[in-house]
Amino acid sequence: MTEREAANVRAIGFVGLGVMGGRIAKRLLDAGYEVAGTNRTRAKADRLVAAGMRWADTPREVAASSEVVITMVTDAIALRAVTDGPDGLLAGLGPGRIYIDMSSVNPAASRELAARVEELGASMLDAPVSGSVSTLEEGKLSVMVGGDVATFERALPILRAIGPTVTHVGGHGQAAAMKIATNLSLAVQMLAFSESVLLAERSGIPRETALHVLLSSVIASPMLRYRGPFVLQQPDEAWFDVNMMQKDLLAALEMGRDLDVPLPSTAIANQLLTAARALGLEKKDFAVLFEVLATMSGLHET
């Protein structure tokens, strides 16, 4: 497949049609790509099928019928479940194909998978995203890509259709590393924001007003703009729950230890996520760090 051909790639496969995956698949359909997809539970795919996606029964089938196949699943275990085995993606991946993993897994796992893909004569990219559902819907997703440059360039049109910001950060696993390095700032920003809100509130400023001022200030990252309001009302469904965030912080802390980078604010945020779990909040969005701090402030005392 030459670059020219790459630009002409139309057949894309998609494995993992959850909250994020489903929306990305939809963007690709909207951009005119032919998409074949599969998911653990078929019901979640109904709307995509209605929008023109072709359903496939197994990851293997998806891979076999696509020039480029994408996975977007929860974690390393879920990834292994869709890549391995007789019905797995690798079983259907032919020479010359491109496999893009958009899941968040640790760098080592990603590099190991890339090596297995190369043995099949195909090429892999790790391409996690920074951002959440709302970022995607606003068309402001940032995609980090790890892998060789040639593969990156072949996949660029597709990645741009998802993005729009797409950055090649380095070799295999380095986008996974970049994602983890990014996510530690998410958790710490949320912790600091919670400290800001509680301190303002205890000073006599209504929580809503404090929120308004903080979200109009220079600390208002896109993440805080959508997650900040959760301190008024936790969402029904977590966008990124305590367990998922802690998984990323543990990966960051492990990397920090291996690479000799002290991560003091990450370490503290991680301990407060443990407190969140201890308080029974592990399935809540990680913005629940505010509740942990509120508990430590005696706010939930009777």
Q: Is 139 a binder of a second copy (CB under 8 A)?
A: no
Q: Distance between terminal CA atoms of the chain?
A: 67
Token pair listed for 209? 């007003």
Q: Which class for 293: exposed (0-12), middle (13-18), buried (19 or more C-beta within 10 A)?
A: buried
Cα–Cα distance between 89 and 292 in angstroms, integer?
41
- Catalytic member of 26, 140, 179, 247: 179
Count residues binding a second copy (CB under 8 A): 85
Residue closer to a second copy (CB basis): 51 or 278: 278
Q: Is 270 a binder of a second copy (CB under 8 A)?
A: yes
Token pair listed for 185? 């700032």
Q: Is 73 a binder of a second copy (CB under 8 A)?
A: no
Footprint on residues 75-134 left by a second copy (CB under 8 A): 107, 130-132
Q: H helices within 105-173, ranges in order?
A: 107-119, 133-137, 149-162
Nearest distance from C-beta of residue 203 to a second copy, angstroms: 4
Footprint on residues 218-237 left by a second copy (CB under 8 A): 218-224
Q: Is 159 a binder of a second copy (CB under 8 A)?
A: no
Nearest distance from C-beta of residue 251 to a second copy, angstroms: 10
Among the residue ranges 11-19, 56-64, 87-95, 178-186, the one whose residues contact a second copy (CB under 8 A): 178-186
Q: Which class for 238: exposed (0-12), middle (13-18), buried (19 or more C-beta within 10 A)?
A: buried
Residue closer to a second copy (CB basis): 66 or 270: 270
Whether 179 sits among the annotated catalytic residues: the reply is yes
Among 93, 102, 174, 288, binds a second copy (CB under 8 A): 174
Residue closer to a second copy (CB basis): 58 or 183: 183
Nearest distance from C-beta of residue 107 to a second copy, angstroms: 7
Q: H helices within the chain, ranges in order?
A: 3-7, 19-30, 46-50, 59-64, 76-83, 89-92, 107-119, 133-137, 149-162, 174-202, 207-215, 222-227, 242-259, 264-278, 289-296
Cα–Cα distance between 256 and 254 in angstroms, integer?
5
Footprint on residues 186-215 left by a second copy (CB under 8 A): 186, 188-189, 191-193, 195-200, 202-206, 209-210, 212-214
Q: Is 135 a binder of a second copy (CB under 8 A)?
A: yes
Among the residue ranges 7-15, 118-126, 147-155, 266-274, the one whose residues contact a second copy (CB under 8 A): 266-274
Cα–Cα distance between 170 and 111 in angstroms, integer?
12
244-256 CB burial, b ≥16 within 10 A, e <16: bbbbbbebbbebb
Catalytic positions: 179
